[in-house]
Structure 1
């Protein structure tokens, strides 16, 4: 047509026998390409094919890297929110805990999570990460109690190929994997002393030394550690480095035991009942009033983890005994627990022991409850609030229990 092109040149770009594309040249000068030899064109074709193949591969790798990064973020988010990921509890101590988590999450401080076994220290660490600026980056978990001492350094900092016997491939450590994110060190009190000094160096400078390599690397990792040990006492006994303790406990958080969380047992039990119902395929699962009372009276030495296991076992027993019922109810008989009254309650109830030993468990429990509540009411001038405090019960729940047991206080003039 009218396009003022006077010379054209085309080069097919191949990767072996596969056509990758075509490179074309146009010129207004009709003789622009006349002086180019066939050898020069072949060389140009080879070079352009190689460069184009490299460009395609780089684009492919970049797309794969972006996909992998998005996948890691999605898997991290799924892991953090699995089974809810929310801290359940409305008691005063739990409200304080939630406020502390929000406060420290916004910073970049190291956090030391303290508490008894089973209170939910890992859940606290996950919430700190989810509420931080690093929430889209990985949260890497490392249990210090399960580390073989001879492999601990490799687990933390990685190793080069051939660094030691059995190191057939290079491997990244947990600090490299957590770069830009958060590293959760569970059971930090079990960490060997030899590793404590190396961990201290990372916390101080961000510098890690991969096993088998000479060049140090730098990482940006926030450390959240947890333990059920008294680290101050461990420091005093020489089993934990004082400088590492102070580095880790920039902001210490103590997770309260379940027996210190007034009325949270009922909330948690309801949550675990919903979970268990889905796992066991039960359409409707509920907790009887007597079973709920029994759960609230128990001392829970295993804390939230023990409560979860008790609900799971009880639901399984209830399903087996009520398989024909549309609604499965967990009763006190399904809960393999007995109330654990304190020493004062036991002394107050000592005169009733001989009357309940030959009764069925449910009647025996109710008889003991009747005796203890009656005795405490007498000792506290029939004041419901004072009695509830002594028995570690909510006043309204105590009144309801007393009414069910047939205890009534009449005030007359």
Structure 2
């Protein structure tokens, strides 16, 4: 069974899978099938949160190297001197703090796969050393006199435009061509909107087990809103939003049969913007006969507040007086319902 060396530890064969039936998802799966059984280096490109690491895992698991390790290194997470040691290893006394010999990721991945995440952030000096390994398979630990040979397949990933990086002299063109033998572009979530629901259901199943729930599901209104949002943070943003929504819904409903409503979902950690910032009456046109009591109440509140504001010419204080609620509470309710202060 394949091992994946993820971050600084080894985990068992990954059970994660690529979910989706859209044309973009099918093309991605086809690319993975085509390249997996070759020995070609692979460059995975795509926005943050699209699942580049998942694609790398899929390639490794379908390759002839699946019985060997897949080793992970985030090139952006470490200073240059530490990154060099992580890649190539060092011998005792090579530098201050080198109290023992250390094996590098290349040696750890020998006969297997090395996944270099955020390759676009690797320094030019280390890019040159990496190029030599790709050309000859030779590595040298920091401080060592001897050279070792490794047999490693490289899968690299980046959200950086490497062509622009080459033009800006921050990425080597020769290294780019060595890595870009078979490029894979991971589609954004907005390019595969029909996959949002199956991906969300997959995530909810995982959350249900983690939170020890009997049922965890979305209202039709919530599904419609999920499929209407552009998800700039892609699958990672969708997953984070669903986790937060499940926790909020569990707290509110206090049982193990949890229904996630649209107002439970926040799509921005910094501003806590509700997903319901799309006008409610527009989002429920196709679901009028499938509304819960809570959703119907929210729709009535939205429409009644909007009508009152129009009658009071947008004056929130007067509207609050007519509605017999505190003005600050009215603002909070309107914000939760997606009725913005014009």
Report the TM-score range of the alignment, normalised by the length of the smaller protein.
0.7 to 0.9
* CA drift at 1:403: 7.7
Larger Rg: 1
Question: Which position in structure 1 is the counterpart of 2:252?
Answer: 321
* CA drift at 1:146: 1.1
Question: Which position in structure 1 is the counterpart of 2:264?
Answer: 334
The normalised TM-score by structure 2 is 0.77
Q: Deviations over 1:40-93 (max 9, x none)?
A: xxxxxxxxxxxxxxxxxxxxxxxxxxxxxx8xx5676983644x3211111011
Q: Is the CA contact 1:294–1:337 (under 8 Å) kept in the aligned structure 2? A: no
The 1:76–1:183 alpha-carbon spacing in structure 2 relative to 1, beyond 3 Å, is closer
User: Which portions of structure 1, spanning 4 or more consecutive aligned residues, are displaced by more than 3 angstroms?
Assistant: 73-82, 361-364, 400-405
Task: Determine the C-alpha separation between the residues in 2 that align with 1:168 and 1:337.
Answer: 46
Q: Is the CA contact 1:183–1:223 (under 8 Å) kept in the aligned structure 2? A: yes
Question: Which position in structure 2 is the counterpart of 1:104?
Answer: 35
Q: Deviations over 1:26-49 (max 9, x none)?
A: xxxxxxxxxxxxxxxxxxxxxxxx
SS in 2 for 1:297: coil
Task: Determine the C-alpha separation between the residues in 1 that align with 2:75 and 2:192.
Answer: 29
Question: Which position in structure 1 is the counterpart of 2:323?
Answer: none
Task: Determine the C-alpha separation between the residues in 1 that align with 2:201 and 2:188.
Answer: 18
Question: Which position in structure 1 is the counterpart of 2:112?
Answer: 181
Q: Does 1:366 align with 2:280?
A: yes
The 1:96–1:80 alpha-carbon spacing in structure 2 relative to 1, beyond 3 Å, is farther
Higher relative contact order (CA 8 A, sep 6+): 2
SS in 2 for 1:309: helix
Q: Is the CA contact 1:265–1:295 (under 8 Å) kept in the aligned structure 2? A: yes
Equivalent residue in structure 1 for 2:199, among 245, 268, 284: 268
Q: Equivalent residues in 2 for 1:153-232 (5 A)?
A: 153-232=84-163
* CA drift at 1:335: 1.2
Q: Does 1:256 align with 2:187?
A: yes
Equivalent residue in structure 1 for 2:11, among 79, 83, 104: 79
SS in 2 for 1:253: strand
Q: Deviations over 1:333-360 (max 9, x none)?
A: 211249xxxxxxxxxxxxxxxxxxxxxx
* CA drift at 1:163: 1.3
The 1:282–1:369 alpha-carbon spacing in structure 2 relative to 1, beyond 3 Å, is closer
Q: Does 1:149 align with 2:63?
A: no
Task: Determine the C-alpha separation between the residues in 1 that align with 2:237 and 2:267.
Answer: 11
Task: Determine the C-alpha separation between the residues in 1 that align with 2:4 and 2:77.
Answer: 24
SS in 2 for 1:104: helix
Task: Determine the C-alpha separation between the residues in 1 that align with 2:156 and 2:183.
Answer: 10
The 1:337–1:293 alpha-carbon spacing in structure 2 relative to 1, beyond 3 Å, is farther
Question: Which position in structure 1 is the counterpart of 2:331?
Answer: none
Question: Which position in structure 2 is the counterpart of 1:310?
Answer: 241
* CA drift at 1:162: 1.3
The 1:184–1:364 alpha-carbon spacing in structure 2 relative to 1, beyond 3 Å, is closer
Task: Determine the C-alpha separation between the residues in 1 that align with 2:108 and 2:276.
Answer: 54
Task: Determine the C-alpha separation between the residues in 2 that align with 1:140 and 1:362.
Answer: 41
Task: Determine the C-alpha separation between the residues in 1 that align with 2:37 and 2:261.
Answer: 44
Task: Determine the C-alpha separation between the residues in 2 that align with 1:251 and 1:363.
Answer: 41
Q: Is the CA contact 1:105–1:129 (under 8 Å) kept in the aligned structure 2? A: yes
The normalised TM-score by structure 1 is 0.65
Q: Is the CA contact 1:129–1:135 (under 8 Å) kept in the aligned structure 2? A: yes
Q: Is the CA contact 1:80–1:130 (under 8 Å) kept in the aligned structure 2? A: no
Q: Is the CA contact 1:298–1:337 (under 8 Å) kept in the aligned structure 2? A: no
Task: Determine the C-alpha separation between the residues in 1 that align with 2:229 and 2:277.
Answer: 17
Q: How many residues align?
A: 282
Q: Equivalent residues in 2 for 1:260-409 (5 A)?
A: 260-324=191-255, 326-337=256-267, 365-369=279-283, 400-401=286-287
Residue segments in structure 2 that go unaligned for 5+ positions in a row: 269-274, 292-342
Q: Is the CA contact 2:72–2:117 (under 8 Å) kept in the aligned structure 1? A: yes
